[in-house]
Amino acid sequence: MLKTKDATAKGAAKSVIRAHAEMKATLPFDDGADFKDAARGFLGTIPDARIVAKDGRVLWDMAAYDFLRAEQVADTVNPSLWRQARLNLHHGLFEVVPGVYQVRGLDIANMTLIEGDRGVIVVDCLTTIEAATAAIELYRKHRGPRPVTGIVITHSHSDHWGGALALTEAEQDNASIPIVTPEFFFENCVSETVIAGPAMLRRALYQFGIPLEKSARGHVDCGLGKSLGLGRRALVRPTDEVRATGEKRVIDGVEFEFQMAPDTEAPAEFHFFIAKYKLLNLAENCTHVFHNLLPFRGTLVRDATAWSKYIAEALYLWGGEAEVMCGQHHWPIWGKERISEMLRQQRDLYKFVHDQTLRLMNHGLNASEIAEHIKLPSTLERAWHARGYYGHIKHNVKAIYQRYLGWYDANPANLDVLPRVEAGKKYVEYMGGGGALLERAKADFEKGEYRFVVEVVSHLVFADPDNTAARHLLADTFEQLGYLAECATWRNSYLLGAAELRREISNVTRGHLGRDTLCVLATQELFDLIAVRLNGPRAETTRSFRIDWWFTDTGEMFRMNLENCALTYMQIEERSESDAEYRLARSTLDRLVTKEITFSEALAKREVEVKGDSGLFDMLMSLLDDFPVNFEIVEPLRKYPT
């Protein structure tokens, strides 16, 4: 993977430096409470939080961010983001209260460790097995060789479960370790990211800025934490699912009281309170950021009102009792009044933005007009934890608009717009050609009118992707927008866009869906995944068919139907007429789909029994597309699908 080069990155423009100075004057930078909280209870760490894979690859290393230790803000970084990036530098083991500990800064997420009668209950397992191993070793170094007596996983995103195997495999009687999750946890762990996986992975590079060099002109933070953890991950099955608010579990002598919070930051999520420690944990729904209602990687739009409602309910249930509140990202806060204040502000943040978006929508404003118009009340504007380091008010209101009204603003001028390349060519023509366009754009660039410059120069890049002057001006403009951005995900997107336009980054490869992921999918999900790979135009040249699948290991039967170029399926109880019947283990189908084995090999090894047409499987496979891992985003697609 090539890295962006600081040498080609430019310095900050005067207008950017001026905007940063204005921001410094309006926000309470002298309030040091967060820095005290982030450092409180520090017990020790591993040098530079460095985590190395068995093969020697460095998976995590905070030394790369040492440039952030300067209090002096680099003018190429928004000062508020610089502050957040410095808060996210803290790493190691921290005492939350005696008996409750957190490992922070070894991953984007936190591991919370709650001591019980015999051992320790681990809340969330970080993104990777390597990170989780480092975290539990660090904990034990300071708190003794306590066994893991329970695992609680707060929600279905992989930065909270990916490392679980490190904890279960290392224990002697791991079969008896309860793994407690919210209901529908397992079903949601991968489904949110599977069907649109290739597009989401590519977009996630922009969101998290993974290929960027770590520097004051490059990657500084992700807002939610420092970066994404690299390494191995595996999904574990829960042994116990919590279904209703008020349910309690006693794990290793510690009583957890749960609150369900589905359809908030994750489709399956819960909060809990531990009376013994007067500890409230709101998972990822009340962290030190305005979170995403729709992350740039893409997903279904989240429900801002549910989010607000569950924070309000937590305040009602435990607001007067909790003496410490921690989440699964960022640092805890202590004291009943501060907890209550943060809960009220976070509750109102999501509700305000939701309600005001709807209000302005009903006045006729479209999404970008709402984003321009809406302003947080000053009480929320000045609350550091409500600032948009990960989500941002300007893209969150667009998410709310999308949730209620969709992509269309009802203006027929936007009903059937030309695609990017065709529109680009016409814009360039109307503006008097590429030279004239660039001349005007350069003048506007000098004036700091970056938002319009990226719009027009992007048209030119789509019309003429080999126009080097256009690529460079667009890259320079993205870069200044990146330097301006308070939101880490905006900064990452702009700077990666700039690097790709300068052709500094290539060969970024992300893992395809492997068998370890396929095997945890429900058969319905696997069929959904196959169906979205079906090349419609190619299917038009083949005949319709029907296959009955009979899975010998799971006992399931499915009927798959290809007709009118659409692949449909349903679970069936009884066999009837079909063109072919395949009896095989589900695990064999996984291997067939990942091409570890061919259908004829499986036949020869008797792993598949066939009645009827044995050629249909290969025919189906020949109709499936493979997706590119690295499609173009800031310039025209090099290869259009046929």
Residue the block writes with tokens 């209870």:
41
Please say whether the beta carbons of 134 and 98 come within 8 A. no
Q: Does 153 bind Zn ion (CB under 5 A)?
A: no
Report helix, strand or coil for 347: helix
Q: Collapse the DSSP code of 635 into the 3-class scheme (helix H, G, I; strand E, B; otherwise coil) and give the result.
A: coil
Q: What minimum distance in Å lies between the beta carbon of 310 and Zn ion? A: 16
Q: Which amino acid is at 472?
A: H
Q: Which residues contact 538 (CB under 8 A, 6 or more apart)?
A: 622, 623, 642
Residue 177 CB, shortest distance to Zn ion, in Å, is 22
CA distance to 38, 76, 143, per residue, from 10 (Å): 33, 9, 48
Q: How far is the CB of 348 from Zn ion (least distance, A)?
A: 23
Q: Give the range of 149-157, 179-187, 191-199, 589-597 binding Zn ion by CB under 5 A.
A: 149-157
**Nearest distance in Å: CB 311, Zn ion:** 17
Which CB atom, from 159 or from 464, has the smaller least distance to Zn ion?
A: 159
Q: How far apart are CA 387 and CA 83, in angstroms?
A: 12
Strands 608-612 and 557-563: what pairing? unpaired
Which is closer to Zn ion, CB of 221 or CB of 284? 284
Contacts with Zn ion by CB under 5 A: the residue count is 4
Least Å distance between CB 329 and Zn ion? 6
Quote the least distance from Cβ 444 to Zn ion, whole Å.
39
Q: Whole-number minimum distance, CB 64 to Zn ion, in Å?
A: 21
Q: How far apart are CA 455 and CA 583, in angstroms?
A: 55
Nearer to Zn ion, 441 or 487 (CB): 487
Residue 193 has φ and ψ, to the nearest 5°, of: -115, 5
125/279 with CB nearer Zn ion: 125
Pick between residue 109 and residue 164 the one whose CB is nearest to Zn ion: 109
| Closest distance of CB 287 from Zn ion, Å | 9
Kindly tell me which of 133 and 328 has the beta carbon lying closer to Zn ion: 328
Amino acid present at 300? L
> Do residues 91 and 62 lie in contact, with contact meaning Cβ atoms separated by under 8 Å?
yes
- Contacts with Zn ion, 52-91, as mask; x by CB under 5 A: ----------------------------------------
Smallest gap from residue 325 Cβ to Zn ion (A): 17
Using the contact rule CB under 5 A, the part of the chain among 14-22, 281-289, 366-374, 517-525 near Zn ion is 281-289
Of 109 and 383, which has the nearer Cβ to Zn ion? Answer: 109
C-beta nearest to Zn ion: residue: 159
Closer residue to Zn ion, CB minimum distance, 85 or 109:
109
Nearest CB to Zn ion, comparing residues 156 and 467: 156
Stretch that binds Zn ion, among 156-164, 317-325, 505-513, 536-544 (CB under 5 A): 156-164
Alpha helix (H) ranges present in 363-419? 367-373, 378-381, 393-405
Contacts 24+ apart (CB under 8 A), 420-426: 420/462, 420/636, 421/462, 421/463, 421/636, 423/459, 423/462, 424/458, 424/459, 424/460, 424/461, 424/462, 424/463, 424/464, 425/462, 425/463
322 burial (CB, 10 Å; 0-12 / 13-18 / 19+) is buried
Query: What is the chain's length?
Result: 642
Stretch that binds Zn ion, among 278-286, 361-369, 433-441, 478-486 (CB under 5 A): 278-286
Residue 207 or residue 578: which is nearer to Zn ion going by CB?
A: 207
* 157 vs 403, beta carbon nearer Zn ion: 157
- State which amino acid sits at residue 356: Q
**Of these, 34, 37, 115, 159, which contacts Zn ion (CB under 5 A)?**
159
Chain positions 381 to 400 lying near Zn ion, rule: CB under 5 A, are none
* Residue 108 C-beta: closest distance to Zn ion, Å: 7
Nearer to Zn ion, 116 or 295 (CB): 295
Angstrom CA distances, 594 to 519, 531, 608, stand at 11, 15, 16
Nearer Cβ to Zn ion, position 109 or 222?
Answer: 109
Q: Is 266 in the site for Zn ion (CB under 5 A)?
A: no
How near is the Cβ of 264 to Zn ion at its closest, in Å?
12
Three-class SS of 464-500: CCCCHHHHHHHHHHHHHHHHHCCCHHHHHHHHHHHHH
- The Cα–Cα gap between 220 and 69 comes to 11
Q: Which stretch binds Zn ion (CB under 5 A): 40-48, 277-285, 353-361, 565-573?
A: 277-285
Interatomic CA distance for residues 191 and 174, integer angstroms: 27
Shortest distance (Å) from residue 157 CB to Zn ion: 5
**Residue 256, φ and ψ in degrees, nearest 5:** -105, 135
Only one of the segments 105-113, 359-367, 536-544, 630-638 lies at the binding site for Zn ion (rule: CB under 5 A); that segment is 105-113
Please state, in angstroms and as integers, the Cα–Cα distance from residue 273 to each residue in 104, 324, 338, following that order. Answer: 20, 10, 17
**Min CB(127)–Zn ion separation in Å:** 9
Contact characters 298-327, Zn ion, x per CB under 5 A: ------------------------------
Kindly give the interhelix angle for 420-430 and 450-463, rounded to the nearest 10 degrees.
Answer: 110
Q: Is 20 helix (H, G, I), strand (E, B) or coil?
A: helix
For residue 60, which of 234, 230, 233, 221 has the smallest C-alpha distance? 230
- Residue closer to Zn ion (CB basis): 92 or 162: 162
Per DSSP bridges, beta strands 58-60 and 557-563 are: unpaired
Stretch that binds Zn ion, among 75-83, 107-115, 146-154, 534-542 (CB under 5 A): 107-115
Window of 104-112, 209-217, 571-579, 609-617 that interacts with Zn ion by CB under 5 A: 104-112
* From 231-239, 279-287, 292-300, 561-569, span contacting Zn ion (CB under 5 A): 279-287
Q: Which tokens is 326 given?
A: 């921690």
Q: How far is the CB of 85 from Zn ion (least distance, A)?
A: 17
109 binds Zn ion (CB under 5 A): yes
Least distance to Zn ion, CB of residue 304, Å: 18
Residue 98 beta carbon to Zn ion: minimum distance, rounded to whole angstroms: 26
Write out the two tokens for 633: 């985003």
Amino acid at site 364: G
Return the number of the residue (225 or 482) whose C-beta is nearest Zn ion. 225
| Site of interaction with Zn ion (CB under 5 A) | 109, 157, 159, 284
